[in-house]
Structure 1
Amino acid sequence: MRPHSAAPLRLVAILWTVAWAVILAVLAAPGVADDTPDHELRLWKDASGSFQVRAKLIERTDEAVRLRKTDGKEISVPLAKLSQADQEYVDKATAPKPVIEVPERERRGLRRGDPSKSAGANKPLPDTGRSIDPGIDPVTGDFEPDPHNFVAVAELGSVPVCDTDAYDAVSAPKPADAACSKVLVSVGRHVITQPNDAKGRIYLVDWKQRRADPVWEVGKKLELLDHDPDSGRSVFTEGMDGLGRGGEIVVAEGLATGEGKILFRRTL
């Protein structure tokens, strides 16, 4: 039996080596990795018609253009020496793109239409019943400063209100009486992924008794903004989302006594 000849195997190995060498040479050749602007490969001519080259526009300056030929080499040609057709192509290819004006998007999340009617639109704001015009009314007598009734403030301490987490917004405490022995504080909850879990409460915190009782509760986010101890009126928001949009502003009275009722409500 004759042994197989190794010549065909050597020939195959040589052919594979040559093929890989050609592939690597093509990949490494200049101009293959093209990161230049997307201009077409075209035939360029000079003004006299005696010179022409197939190349791609790479860059334009005030006086010349830079072209990349099919072999990857780059040349610079003065603009004045190009044919009229080539100069027009350069002007068109390098002209600044027009600015597209995008219309301003409408604000979302806000209600349209007429504002809702207020429950307290016809009620006067609380005042002292006395008004003067400094520009007309004469000043008679000596200036009388407002009386100050200093009342001892309750001792410092802490009162547990309720369990909270990162999704609960707790308001600053608002004095419910002149002595600051009681304060009002709100806890509002709103989770974007769990809208049904939204809720809000206002608590009346008694420093002396060291207890907190809920005096207002709704099934949406709530935030207490302020409370006036003299009139017993409070202002707060209901129904705002996690970004502070939408909802309603509410004025109520009687929260400090646990008998709250709405005086005013307006959609934001």
Structure 2
Amino acid sequence: MRTNKLAGRLILLALFGFLYVPIAVLVMLSFNESGLPTAWSGFSTKWYLELAGNGDILGAAWNTLVVGVSATLLSTVLGTMLAIGMETRRRKSSGLEALVFAPMVIPDIVLAVALLSFFSKLNVTLGLHTIIISHVIFDLAFVCSIVRARLKHFDYSIVEASRDLGGSAWTTFWWVTFPVLLPAIIAGGLLAFTLSVDEFIIAFFTAGAGRSSITLPIQIYSMIRFGITPEINALATIVMAVSTIVLLLSQWLNKDNLQ
């Protein structure tokens, strides 16, 4: 019994090591004094200071923020409306369920090519606006699934009580339904923001030409083609830290749905 438990712990430790040791090494090397990506020569934060003075990176960070915030707001509103509509629908449709959640299971490269073809067919000029639209389509299903999970445990008797007391449909939604759904809505929005900030393939295909639509993942890709530097490690560390914090906050807000 003890041998099996020890073997299980060793396997789990090896798995976590395989997943997180490379990330830990990347973070450590981002504080490397040396310009060499693998030779440690002392602790320094100069690479983070250089990031602050790099106009290309700051521009890409701003574009990422614009895309992330815009896609989050749109996908959160639309995803919440979609979740309420689907959950209160009397006739359930497996075909509709598959259609709504298809972006979650379709490979990113397939979705990216499809969106690029769609925009090209409509003669839409590519730019930040096409990235935002693409990310809304991608994020919508995730927000919808989180809000629907909250609705599964929703007590509809309080809605009936509100209507019996004379509350209108809007008053009932704003003062009864919305406060109950708010943690799930925020969690879905935070997850959408994380996915949008980290997403590369769809953004790469729908970004268009010029630096005006370059996001941080695309900027990192363009830099990494010429070799790994501590500056890239620092940038990757910042992106990863922001994504992790937002994701953990999303999971904390959505903890009731996970139980």
TM over 0.5: no
- Relative to total residues, which structure has the larger helix share, 1 or 2? 2
Q: TM-score, normalised by structure 2?
A: 0.23
Higher strand share: 1
Report which of the two structures shows the higher radius of gyration computed on alpha carbons.
Answer: 1
